[in-house]
């Protein structure tokens, strides 16, 4: 069964460092997403991406964040200068369709980011 793959599963970084979280979405999917879950809190939408551009982003997704689909298979989330409050589980998701036609997004296993 196809699945969304995320690497690494855990990442520890020092405050102020740049991190790149990687995701390989399901191959025939066209819409890609990042969500995050701070420990003990709910899963929050960060950004959606379609046709090589951001289609929607939340207020959490500020200038420190960027997304890219560098090679047609990977989908990355970059945090330019990490802060302690960026510590969270980051989930990548993909779907074949978006908007009102999106009936299912498949989620990866997550990358746990710890900023120290």
Interacting residues with other proteins (CB under 8 A):
31, 33, 35, 41-45, 48, 50, 55-56, 58, 91, 98-100, 102-110
Please report how close the Cβ of residue 81 comes to other proteins at its closest, in angstroms: 25
Distance CA 29, CA 44 (A): 21
Please report how close the Cβ of residue 11 comes to other proteins at its closest, in angstroms: 15
Place of tokens 């939340």: 58
14 vs 101 by CB, closer to other proteins: 101
Identify the H or E element spanning 109: none
Q: How far is CA 88 from the centre of its chain?
A: 11
2 vs 99 by CB, closer to other proteins: 99
56 vs 74 by CB, closer to other proteins: 56
- The answer to whether 73 and 27 are in contact (CB under 8 A) is yes
15 vs 38 by CB, closer to other proteins: 38
Distance CA 32, CA 46 (A): 11
């Amino acid at each position: 069964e196809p699945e969304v793959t995320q690497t690494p599963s855990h990442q520890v970084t020092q405050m102020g460092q740049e991190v790149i979280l990687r995701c390989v979405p399901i191959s025939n999917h066209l819409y890609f997403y990042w969500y995050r879950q701070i420990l003990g809190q709910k899963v929050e939408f960060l950004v959606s991406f379609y046709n090589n551009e951001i289609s929607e982003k939340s207020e959490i997704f500020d200038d420190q964040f960027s997304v890219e689909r560098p090679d047609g298979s990977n989908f990355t989330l970059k945090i330019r200068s990490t802060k302690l409050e960026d510590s969270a589980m980051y989930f990548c998701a993909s779907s074949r369709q978006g908007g009102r036609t999106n009936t299912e997004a498949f989620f990866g296993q997550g990358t746990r980011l710890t900023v120290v």
